[in-house]
Amino acid sequence: MLYPLKFSPILKDKIWGGTKLKTLFNKPATSDHLGESWELSGYEGDESVVTNGFLAGNNLAELLEVYMGDLVGDRVFERYGHTFPLLFKLIDANDNLSIQVHPNDETARARHDSLGKTEMWYVVDADPGAELIIGFAHDSSKEEYSQAVERGEVERLLQHVPVQRGDVFFIPAGLVHAIGRGVVVAEIQESSDITYRIYDYKRKDANGHERELHVAQALDVIDFAASTRPKTPYEPRLNEPVTLVSCDYFTTNSLRFDREVVRDYAPIDSFVAYMCLEGAFDIVCEGEKTPVQRGETVLVPAAINEVKLVPSQPSALLEVYVQAK
């Protein structure tokens, strides 16, 4: 019988990474440049491995091969087959990330035999004055953008958005974006690692080389329209879910709770993932408890229809599933 599954984080050092994933979430960093913790991944070569229960030691791809719709939902399995559709990350930007854009499904499939990359960010932590780059400040064009790239002035066309903890941003494929220094985000995205870098501040890697840019590839996928509402508005509430983002690829709810909450997932026919951002709680189903701490991500298989969330202290999580299409 399937049960709530916990996984080992997949840690990735980055040129722009820092130490906050260790200090905030107790990730077992081995350097001071931990940029990403892949919390739940079926991406080929980076499949998450179960750490709890009788399935410990199995990776997500192996589970999907065996349990199929019982793991992800019949409808999700029909749509994605043996590909786990989403990738969950925690990201620490100790320095500015490259300015980048992602292709949509159609372009990614044609060029890379991959899913596209629509994603969202939930700001977990932000230094005073921290900001993100979200789209263009005004309507632009290929010509204006190309000239700015040639002059190294692309930043001036883009919208710089001050951020604070709890801010939410939806990043559809085609939207130019970047995480600024001093920001920690939880990222939910399609299971893809296709990124087109368009500017990287002329940084050099450990070998003294500037990282590859993808200016020509990016040109055909960029949305040049102004980003008029960069932040996703929502009204925080206690002890009930609040929808942050709902799109073709995922629905993400915020859930803050200081008492027991019952969640009924029978109508959605999808797996559910919890990213615990604050506090600690137990997932109770079929009389069994699965303890969850801050910084852990848990997969609730689709075969589980109802759970109780019982906090041992006030808690906050992101609840993610794939909406019917």
pLDDT digits (tens, 9 = 90+) for 284-294: 998 899 999 99
Handedness of CA 167, 164, 291, 241 (dihedral sign): negative
What is the pLDDT at residue 325? 64
CATH 3.40.50.360 fits 242-321, yes or no: no
Q: What is the pLDDT of residue 302?
A: 98
Of the ranges 38-47, 49-58, 204-213, which one carries the lowest mean pLDDT score?
A: 204-213
Mean pLDDT of 217-233: 95
pLDDT of residue 9: 98
The structural architecture, per CATH, of the domain 5-219 is: Sandwich (2.60)
Q: Where do the domains of the chain lie? A: 5-219, 242-321
Same-fold call for 5-219 versus 242-321:
yes
Q: What is the pLDDT, as a whole number, of residue 137?
A: 97
Q: Which DSSP helix (H) or strand (E) runs through 61?
A: helix 60-67
Give mean pLDDT, residues 263-270.
Answer: 96
DSSP letter, residue 268: T
**Alpha carbon distances (Å) from 214 to 100, 142, 241:** 9, 15, 39
Task: With a cut of 90, say whether residue 206 has pLDDT above it.
Answer: no
What pLDDT is attached to residue 38?
Answer: 98
Q: Is 237 in the active site?
A: no
Contacts of 158 (CB under 8 A, 6+ apart): 99, 133, 134, 135, 136, 137, 176
Instruction: List CB contacts of 222: < 8 A, sequence separation 6 or more.
Output: 101, 142, 145, 174, 176
pLDDT in the model for residue 323: 86
Rounded to whole angstroms, how far apart are CA atoms 211 and 81?
34
Q: 75, 79, 111, 197: which one is catalytic?
A: 197
**Cα–Cα dist 44/195, whole Å:** 16
